[in-house]
Amino acid sequence: MQKTTLGPSGIECSAIGLGTWAMGGWMWGGGDNAAAVLAIQASLDAGVNLIDTAPAYGLGRSESIVGTALKGRRHEAVIATKCGLVWHTQQGTHFFEEDGHPVYRYLGRESIIHEAEESLKRLQTDYIDLYITHWQDSTTPVEETMSTLLELKKQGKIRAIGVSNVSPETLAEYLRYGPVDAAQERYSLIDREIEQTLVPLCTEHNVAVLGYSSLALGLLAGPIDPERKFTGDDQRATNPRFSAQNRAKLKAFFEELEPLRKQLECSFGQLMIAWTLARGSISVALCGARVSKQAIENAGAGSVRLHDAALQLIDAAAGRHLGSLA
């Protein structure tokens, strides 16, 4: 497994991280707690020690699953969780409804302190390795948010500070008040905008970049059966990227990459995860999983090395088939 460091914090972690959004069930058609616990433990066994979660993933469900999975193994894991999407208060800006609860973007001092304590309880730990502002809050000054995070760090409740879904301008403002260890943003073969916007600033200030949705909600995991249906509240049911037309484009894309996949003896999903790491824009590729098989397969991408010719081949195939996949 490749390793990396979370910015100025010096915290070492695996270059592949386990994303636990789907384990919370919300927007993924439900979930299986027992299977999720086994998936987290399988990730640790396979060398993936960065576990990424958030209170909003199932209104605490995902964090509780992580806490259960890490009993007796907390020392093996680097836990990243988040703050700023709240349902205990109606301060801030209304964002969405989750299971009948209105969720707000809010990063005020008292709210962050409350969220941190609740997360510590659910995670069954006395410290969080990386604490990330999940979405930014236009109603609270960044100085107030950052001073609160620095206070929690001084108390030993968090070890490192991160931001997510942030503009370069807002990240620069965070950096005015203290070190930011990581920025978490969407990044994959078909989502590369941050290469031109956020990555240069992160590189300049030694901010690690965690790329989430490395497989684009599963779109890049391999050819999708034209007959497959996404049910319940699964967001992919209404996502235009999963249309029949796009599935045909993906099929042609993966067919072109089949010789390379065979040569490297890996899955298509592993090939796409390896691409995100080899491109050099991100420090960690976050990959979601709900069962052990998925977790183990994702972890296996850490041993796949892509030479320049392979990267050029993948980029060229993506340009031919996936350029309009939006």
Q: Is residue 250 part of a domain?
A: no
Number of domains in the chain: 1
Indicate yes or no: pTM above 0.85: yes
Q: Is residue 245 part of a domain?
A: no
- The CATH number that applies at residue 110 is 3.20.20.100
Q: Is residue 195 part of a domain?
A: yes
pLDDT number for residue 325: 67
| Per-residue pLDDT tens over the stretch 103-127 | 999 999 999 999 999 999 999 999 9
- For 20, the 3-state DSSP assignment is coil
pLDDT number for residue 248: 82
Containing domain of residue 295, as a range?
Answer: 3-219+281-304
Catalytic residue among 57, 106, 187, 212: 57
Q: Is residue 316 part of a domain?
A: no
Q: Is residue 17 part of a domain?
A: yes
Q: Is residue 241 part of a domain?
A: no
Q: Is 57 marked active-site?
A: yes
CB atoms within 10 A of CB 121: 13
3-class DSSP string for 59-108: CCHHHHHHHHHCCCCHHHCEEEEEECEECCCCCCEEEEEECCEEEEECCC
pLDDT beyond 60 at 28? no
Strands 208-212 and 182-186: parallel
Q: Is residue 183 part of a domain?
A: yes
Helix or strand run (H / E) with residue 259? helix 244-264
| Per-residue pLDDT tens over the stretch 50-89 | 999 999 999 999 999 999 999 999 999 999 999 999 999 9
Q: Counting Cβ atoms within 10 Å, is residue 75 exposed (0-12), middle (13-18) or buried (19+)?
A: exposed
Residues 88 and 104: their CA atoms lie apart, in Å, by: 9
Structure tokens at 180: 């930011």
pLDDT number for residue 232: 66
Q: Is residue 319 part of a domain?
A: no
**Are 192 and 210 spatial neighbours (Cβ–Cβ below 8 Å)?**
no
Q: How confident is the model at residue 100 (pLDDT cuts 50, 70, 90)?
A: confident
**CA quadruple 199, 127, 111, 31: dihedral positive or negative?**
positive
Residues 248 and 254: their CA atoms lie apart, in Å, by: 10
Residues 94 and 236: their CA atoms lie apart, in Å, by: 23
* Chain mean pLDDT for the chain: 91
| Per-residue pLDDT tens over the stretch 211-250 | 998 888 778 887 776 666 665 666 666 667 777 777 788 8
